[in-house]
Amino acid sequence: MNNTKQVLECYVGLQWGDEGKGRLVDNSIERAKLINPEKRIVVVRFQGGPNAGHTIYGTNLKGELAKFVTHAAPSGIVGNTDIAIGPDVAFDPEKFKREIDQGRELFGYNGRIMISERVGILFDYHRKIDGWREDNSERKIGTTRNGIGAFYEDNARRQTRITFRDYISDRFHDRLMAVLKLKLDELLTCVLEDRTLDNLCQELISVHDPIRKELTQFSERLEYRLFEDYLNQGNHIIIEGAQGTMLDVNMGTIPDITSSHLLAPNAFSSLGLPRTMVKVIGVEKIYPTRVGEGIMPTEAKDEFGEIVAKIGDEIGATTGRKRRVGYPDWLIVKRSVLLNTCNEIIVTRADVVQGLNLKVCTDYRFDGRTLREVPLDLSSVVPIYTSNYWWDLWGTEVEGNPLHLNQKIEDARAHYVETGIKGLPNDLIRYIADHDRYMGCPITGVGISPKGEIVSRK
Ligand code: IMP
Ligand code: MG
């Protein structure tokens, strides 16, 4: 496992996304800078596309705290690290370029940028096809309308995949026209309106020609660069997952899933990094949330759900939709720990549920039996709640929104960060111990702040 002087970490979501991976990646960057500041840091995206939304806070050039949401670019922009786009990403050059430009303007971003020559390009027609299907299907998925499904179909179909290599080469115009011809039926239905195929092709060319000129310099055979320039040189590598295990194209709640392979093993197979050298960190939000369609067995359609959604500000970073809140579902987390080959777990947002009665689902009732496995069909599963927890982190009843950054709370936060997990309230310690036993994988950090402060084991 990890050389202590080199941060090699992979962050993946254990539920339905929005577990707080972005902020943990940000913390990891800060840690890498402290551990070995002479070394470079690269933050890598390995799957998904602009369906993701990572909300991060950074200090801008004026010295103020600025909120930044990345969709296409890895969150290393804020921490001013090198960034890389793996071959299995749905790469949206328009959004990517916009985010890089914003990063330069806001934070003076000037890291090395690497884009796998193999990555497929996500175009506006993918977005239109996705939107059309959402509007016209009986069976909606509730996608983010970013074209993810349509993009991965084109990738799998092969002739319709425009790689980054194609995109930056002289053959781009011809390749694009050839692909549009192959997709004619679909484009007629969902995209063209009163335009011809030629019109559409010209439109895309005029949008993309300036972008591809600028991005050409970033094309890499990424598997070699990560291995030779980073891993072997003692540089830091931080892999940033998007979405969560229950949305994985094979292992999620089919068909209410995204279209990418988002488990950690896919990071290793597509980036060419040895599994044994990288620490896989599963990120679990203490209460799960879900956006879009699909069952969440422990969905809290009660006061708990309402309070948590409000205090936790559970609104989608990409779509602005309300996220549905659930009670902790440990079956799902345990399975995700297994699928991702996690070494450890970080639990986020223990502050949001403080002062609330937290019941935990440890078994399902299914087919008249008690079950400790997650079946494919969750529609007839009834959660069984066997444990209850309650903690008070701030030692006081706080007026209004308990997450307000008042002094007393800030002091309490600083105290917990100092003492580590053993200094936390008793019931939270009991929660962690029970969780460790149930999962067979330890919690090594607990999030207690919207800014991402983590209480670790000391
Ligand atoms: P798509 O990935 O846009 O096709 O959406 C498919 C499903 O995944 C929908 O339920 C989305 O709400 C969900 N989804 C996709 N990306 C994210 C994410 O980053 N966070 C949470 N849910 C997501
Ligand atoms: Mg998100």
> Cβ atoms within 10 A of the Cβ of 357, count?
11
What the block records as the tokens of 348 is: 């986020």
**What residue's CA is closest to ligand 1, atom 15?**
51
Among 28, 56, 54, which residue's Cα sits nearest to residue 42?
28
Ligand nearest to C-alpha 133: 1
pLDDT digits (tens, 9 = 90+) for 126-161: 999 999 999 999 999 999 999 999 999 999 999 999
**What residue's CA is closest to ligand 1, atom 11?**
143
Instruction: Name the band, by pLDDT with cuts 50, 70 and 90, for residue 282.
Output: very high
233-265 burial string, b = 16+ CB within 10 Å, else e?
eebbbbbbbbbbbbbbbebbbeebbbbbbbbbe
DSSP 162-181: -BHHHHHSTTHHHHHHHHHH
Ligand nearest to C-alpha 296: 1
Check if 50 has its Cβ closer than 6 Å to any atom of ligand 1: no
d(CA 292, CA 312): 18
| Span from the CA of 145 to the centroid of ligand 1 (angstroms) | 9
The answer to whether residues 96 and 73 touch, using CB atoms and an 8 Å cutoff, is yes
d(CA 11, CA 237): 11
The answer to whether residues 66 and 103 touch, using CB atoms and an 8 Å cutoff, is no
CA 51 to ligand 1: nearest atom: 16
What is residue 1's predicted lDDT score, i.e. its pLDDT?
Answer: 54
CA 149 to ligand 1: nearest atom: 4
CA 293 to ligand 1: nearest atom: 10
Q: Is the pLDDT of residue 167 over 80?
A: yes
Q: Is the pLDDT of residue 327 over 80?
A: yes
| φ, ψ (nearest 5 deg) of residue 241 | -75, 160
Check if 292 has its Cβ closer than 6 Å to any atom of ligand 1: yes
d(CA 77, CA 74): 7
Check if 143 has its Cβ closer than 6 Å to any atom of ligand 1: yes
Cβ-in-10-Å burial (0-12, 13-18, 19+) of 404 comes to exposed
What is residue 152's predicted lDDT score, i.e. its pLDDT?
Answer: 98
Which of 52-66, 245-259, 413-427 shows the lowest per-residue confidence on average (mean pLDDT)?
A: 52-66
What is residue 389's predicted lDDT score, i.e. its pLDDT?
Answer: 97
DSSP 21-62: HHHHHHHHHHHHHHH-TTS-EEEEE-SB-TT--EEEEEE-TT
**What residue's CA is closest to ligand 1, atom 5?**
143
Q: Is the pLDDT of residue 54 over 90?
A: no
Which of 115-129, 264-278, 394-408, 443-457 shows the lowest per-residue confidence on average (mean pLDDT)?
A: 394-408
d(CA 309, CA 181): 46
The answer to whether residues 376 and 391 touch, using CB atoms and an 8 Å cutoff, is no
Specify the residue for token string 């299995």: 88
Instruction: Name the band, by pLDDT with cuts 50, 70 and 90, for residue 96.
Output: very high
The answer to whether residues 453 and 417 touch, using CB atoms and an 8 Å cutoff, is yes
Global pTM? 0.96
Q: Is the pLDDT of residue 192 over 70?
A: yes
Cβ-in-10-Å burial (0-12, 13-18, 19+) of 125 comes to buried
pLDDT digits (tens, 9 = 90+) for 332-357: 999 999 999 999 999 999 999 999 99
Residue of 243, 285, 324 to mutate, ligand 1, most atoms within 8 A of C-beta: 243
Which of 216-225, 265-274, 381-390, 396-405 shows the lowest per-residue confidence on average (mean pLDDT)?
A: 396-405
| Span from the CA of 12 to the centroid of ligand 1 (angstroms) | 15
| Span from the CA of 259 to the centroid of ligand 1 (angstroms) | 9
| Span from the CA of 349 to the centroid of ligand 2 (angstroms) | 14
Neighbours of ion ligand 2 (CB under 5 A): 18, 53, 317
Instruction: Select the more confidently predicted residue: 37 or 14.
Output: 14
**What residue's CA is closest to ligand 1, atom 21?**
17
Mean pLDDT of the chain: 94
List residues bridging with 456 in a β-sheet.
445
Q: Is the pLDDT of residue 401 over 70?
A: no
For the annotated catalytic residues, the residue numbers are 18, 54
Question: Mean pLDDT over residues 152-171, rounded?
Answer: 98
Q: Is the pLDDT of residue 225 over 70?
A: yes
What is residue 398's predicted lDDT score, i.e. its pLDDT?
Answer: 54
What is residue 72's predicted lDDT score, i.e. its pLDDT?
Answer: 96
- Map residue 185 onto helix, strand or coil: helix
What is residue 352's predicted lDDT score, i.e. its pLDDT?
Answer: 95
Check if 258 has its Cβ closer than 6 Å to any atom of ligand 1: yes
| Span from the CA of 152 to the centroid of ligand 1 (angstroms) | 14
**What residue's CA is closest to ligand 1, atom 16?**
51
d(CA 236, CA 41): 5
d(CA 58, CA 28): 14
Torsion sign over Cα 300, 256, 281, 48: negative
pLDDT over 70 percentage in the chain: 97
| Span from the CA of 242 to the centroid of ligand 2 (angstroms) | 7
Check if 291 has its Cβ closer than 6 Å to any atom of ligand 1: yes
d(CA 68, CA 100): 11
**What residue's CA is closest to ligand 1, atom 9?**
143
Ligand nearest to C-alpha 16: 1
Q: Is the pLDDT of residue 435 over 80?
A: yes
Rounded to 10 deg, the angle between the 124-136 and 197-215 helix axes is 130
Find the helix or strand (DSSP H, E) in which 436 lies: helix 426-439
Check if 420 has its Cβ closer than 6 Å to any atom of ligand 1: no
Residue of 19, 291, 293, 325 to mutate, ligand 1, most atoms within 8 A of C-beta: 291
